[in-house]
Amino acid sequence: MTKDWVLILGANSDMARATARRFASAGYNIQLASRNIEELKKESEHIRVKYRVEVQEFFFDALNFDSHADFYTELKEKPSGVVVAFGILGDEKNARRDFPAAKTIIDTNYTGAVSILEIIAADFERRRWGFIVGISSVAGDRGRQSNYLYGSAKAGFSAYLGGLRHRLFAAGVSVLTVKPGFVHTKMTRDLDLPEKLTATPEEVAEKIFSGVEKKKSTVYVKPVWMLIMSIIIHLPEWIFKRTKL
């Protein structure tokens, strides 16, 4: 059984928990990091008992950029891989009137991820191995009137991950961009989601695990989302701007 560690950032996310469990089931030790330590401790106990691996919990705030270098330096065991799962949907309509709210959406989904990943990427590049996973979104594939603040932050994150993948390829470090489509989690619990287009956190976790193993670049969790987004991306602007998407 391997003794490698996987660091999960935003580990209280429903997708993150399922992903932590998937890696633990394969024998990885797990580092859970997020803001709510009490919740992390409950999850740690579950993983320890069920999968018999080591689990550590750490406080991590994606918005506290100045703390990120110390956060990584203080990890005694440097991880084999990292999964960036934190993110917020936010209240798009409110954020159009309230720039601090818009900035929180942008900083949580984009700036915070760049801040911590630049630190981790430099370490992985120096030692010449490891994997990085970023959970982005199909919302980043084309700006739409219904969620362009969240979508533009995810677009930035997808472009960032693409550039990081290009940079780190020569060092043997893989970078996986995950586009989940709709997923049943606490983020979407108030939304009425179409069942056929909606994945479970466990499906996301399986795609992440197999994507890392196969060193994939980008995965859509439900393949139908690749088709849907390909149509949306290719709609001419004069048609697109008349839709209500």
Ligand X SMILES: NC(=O)c1ccc[n+]([C@@H]2O[C@H](COP(=O)([O-])OP(=O)(O)OC[C@H]3O[C@@H](n4cnc5c(N)ncnc54)[C@H](OP(=O)(O)O)[C@@H]3O)[C@@H](O)[C@H]2O)c1
Residues that bind ligand X (CB under 6 A): 10, 12-15, 34-36, 60-63, 85-88, 108, 135, 137, 180, 182-183, 185-188
Of the candidates 51, 150, 160, 220, the residue annotated as catalytic is 150
- The count of other CB atoms within 10 Å of the CB of residue 56 is 16
Alpha-carbon torsion, ordered 53, 57, 58, 62, to 10 deg: 90
Residue 28 annotated as catalytic: no
Q: Which is nearer to ligand X, 172 or 188 (CB)?
A: 188
Q: Is the dihedral of CA 163, 169, 175, 179 positive or negative?
A: positive
- Encoded tokens for 5: 């560690």
Shortest Å, Cβ 239 to ligand X:
25
| SS3 call for 5 | strand
Amino acid at 63: L
Name the residue among 231, 237, 18, 220 with its Cα closest to residue 138: 220
| DSSP 8-state secondary structure symbol assigned to residue 78 | P
Query: Closer CB to ligand X, residue 56 or residue 188?
Result: 188
36 vs 243, which CB is nearer to ligand X?
Answer: 36
Q: Where are the beta strands (DSSP E) in 76-229?
A: 81-84, 131-135, 174-179, 182-183, 198-199, 218-220
| Of 93 and 127, CB closest to ligand X | 93
Least distance in angstroms from the C-beta of 153 to ligand X: 9
Cβ 149 to ligand X shortest distance, Å: 12
**Nearest distance from C-beta of residue 133 to ligand X, angstroms:** 11
Position closest to ligand X via CB: 87
Which residues carry out catalysis?
A: 150
